[in-house]
Structure 1
């Protein structure tokens, strides 16, 4: 009886131990599963955070900056460009910061030290626009145009040296060639690059390019891609230039006429000589001004006394003869009548003065609009010069210049200060070119 009783007790003990082992195994497995799940969840969190950080890092790496100072005849402007960069594609312009000051560097020709303050102020704008970690890799460039090209060499050199001193103190990337006077042809080519980049003409062969006309104060440029091979063959060798841009080759007709910018041409039509003050009580007398007009006019820091002249024929005809005589054989005709052109600077400003285009949005204008506007303004000056005493002369000069360049009276130009919100100057194209030179050296 006692033996029979011992068997069930052993069975109960084994059963209890077995249940305990099963329970402990279950608890351990549940704990391990939970810990593994927690570990997986934690690892996933870190991966997401790392991927986010990596994405932000890649975004920063894909942005490049460039600073271009445009030292023109009437003012100094700074363009700070932010580019989204992909080695496999043409860069995209993400943002532009722009600031301008007056007067131009040439105004300090006799006091070059004074030119530094304005440059320093514009550099502060660049510092505020560019993240500090990017300062050391951001190219800093100044290109001077006609205002300095017209100065005696020594004065221009002194001014540029002062700019170099300011650049040397800045945290941005600059080289020996960062400060220089820009060749007129380079100015035209760079402006052509800017316009066609903004219009999409440099992003694919299926899109045709447009020509560019720029009328500054001291010089004027014409640049276009010739449609006829004969233009390339018959043009002077220094009018034709070729270059690579975004893995494509471009051949351009480009020329800058120094001394035929609007202010320099105005002086020449009036009978003055660039950089030479009048002696004593001398005056510049012209039929392009109202007969009763007398006043002071300052050009390139030289003050002139200008005066209207009574003539025996209508003012427009008298002024036209003066302009045609001044420009005679100074401009070469080009094969341009069948090509689309954009026109800028004083072409734009005088279009606004005529009321043909809107000051903010621009528009389109014909050569004949300048011609007819000149006739109307000039012949109305019998009664007085009005708010702009030089408008008759300016419009007459523009209309003659365009005809001398080969444009017929019915040719239509597009006028724009900006394209897609970006100023249509040479600065963007010149920045592309400089950044490419920095990258390849």
Structure 2
């Protein structure tokens, strides 16, 4: 199953809204388009995405699918998992996003526009009863036409599996690379998704395999994908477990603990769970066989890092080292190769994110007749593996 091929990693380090934007009413009349709404419910925020495509055909290339510019609120904090103690308050934040979506989609098309809320690793970490309580409130909101004029069915608001998240990221990457618009079999691109709570790997392998199979029909073809998700191996969870380990090793639990993976000048009390707080102080670290830019960043002080990289700049020293370790020790990528890693924020002018792939998936699921007639198995003679850090801790 393992590809014995050249492997290319693309790391997307900054995520916001898709940069390819337009007004909802530019161009042809609104009745010539269809619209779809995605709520990306991450561990620390919920982001709104509104898409538009031609009503007479399903998108196969970037130009066919547009993400609209939003005039109102497009992201709310905290993530929906934070409402575990008071589930009823989750509605207030989501109503703001619904207002923005209503303004972006022409009123006459509200009732035919599907809306989905898909939650990721933050909700996966909750107890089932706690997650159900939050989704009871969300379903109640989305089924209330006073607040939600869009088409919604029970089950369209849910926690997606890590495997689904990985597949959506794979769809995004391959859609933006033009794979689905190809008239002949074209090499596909793998996707490694580094999130806050989990990390996913998804690609089209050569040969037979049975575990972690995800059959996908899209743009008239079938792709038997390998996808795997590792819960608690995302960047947020890595930092939490790192602090828990340092706390456990400390002789004096009340003393400030020096952490070689944090920056000089960083000094903070960190909640590590079970009513325990670790006092963490940053220190300089130089890791052998680590990407040079990560080492350079780790040499900065906490003040320099936050001034240079914003509010979450302090996380990047530890995150860079963790990503390098994950690639080399976890996925066995050659540390010394100079042609394996390519760092980018976007593909063909569009920033990478799983929400676009999720919209594509739902389009083809709702319009399966477009795909079943000419479905065929696709084999990959060449595979590029893209590391798409879709929802890094510092941008969530």
TM-score (normalizing by structure 2): 0.70
Corresponding residue pairs, total: 318
SS in 1 for 2:151: coil
Does residue 372 in structure 1 map to residue 292 in structure 2? yes
Distance 1:405 1:112, change over 3 A: same
Aligned mates of 2:153, 2:44 — CA distance in 1: 26
Aligned-pair CA distance for 1:292: 7.5
Aligned-pair CA distance for 1:394: 1.9
User: Counterpart of 1:209?
Assistant: 188
Matching residue within 221, 233, 236 for 1:263:
236
Distance 1:217 1:64, change over 3 A: same
Matching residue within 163, 174, 178 for 2:156:
178
Aligned mates of 2:50, 2:302 — CA distance in 1: 44
Matching residue within 218, 223, 227 for 2:202:
223
User: Counterpart of 1:148?
Assistant: 123
Aligned mates of 1:173, 1:384 — CA distance in 2: 47
Distance 1:408 1:439, change over 3 A: same
Aligned mates of 1:434, 1:300 — CA distance in 2: 37
Give the conservation status (yes or no) of the 8 Å contact 1:288–1:308: no
Aligned mates of 1:422, 1:246 — CA distance in 2: 20
| Cα deviation 1:14-53 (Å, max 9, x = unaligned) | xxxxxxxxxxxxxxxxxxxxxxxxxxxxxxxxxxxxxxxx
Distance 1:433 1:376, change over 3 A: closer
Aligned mates of 1:402, 1:82 — CA distance in 2: 36
SS in 2 for 1:222: strand
SS in 2 for 1:212: strand
Unaligned residue ranges in structure 1 (runs of 5+)? 1-57, 274-278, 321-367
User: Counterpart of 1:407?
Assistant: 333
Distance 1:390 1:190, change over 3 A: closer
Give the conservation status (yes or no) of the 8 Å contact 1:79–1:97: no
Does residue 80 in structure 1 map to residue 42 in structure 2? no
User: Counterpart of 1:93?
Assistant: 65
CA RMSD of aligned residues (A): 3.3
Which range is displaced more, 288-297 or 158-167?
288-297
Matching residue within 63, 68, 79 for 1:104:
79
Give the conservation status (yes or no) of the 8 Å contact 2:243–2:272: no
User: Counterpart of 1:118?
Assistant: 93
Distance 1:290 1:101, change over 3 A: closer
**Of the two structures, which has the highest relative contact order with CA contacts closer than 8 Å and spacing of 6 or more?**
2
Aligned-pair CA distance for 1:271: 2.5
The structure whose Rg is larger is 1
Give the conservation status (yes or no) of the 8 Å contact 1:272–1:284: no
Aligned-pair CA distance for 1:211: 1.7
Distance 1:286 1:191, change over 3 A: same
Aligned mates of 1:202, 1:213 — CA distance in 2: 19
SS in 1 for 2:35: strand
The structure with the greater share of residues assigned to helix is: 1
TM-score (normalizing by structure 1): 0.64
Give the conservation status (yes or no) of the 8 Å contact 1:96–1:422: no
Aligned mates of 2:199, 2:225 — CA distance in 1: 16
User: Counterpart of 2:174?
Assistant: 196
Matching residue within 53, 59, 67 for 2:37:
67
The within-5 A match list for 1:33-52 is none
Does residue 297 in structure 1 map to residue 217 in structure 2? no
User: Counterpart of 1:431?
Assistant: 359
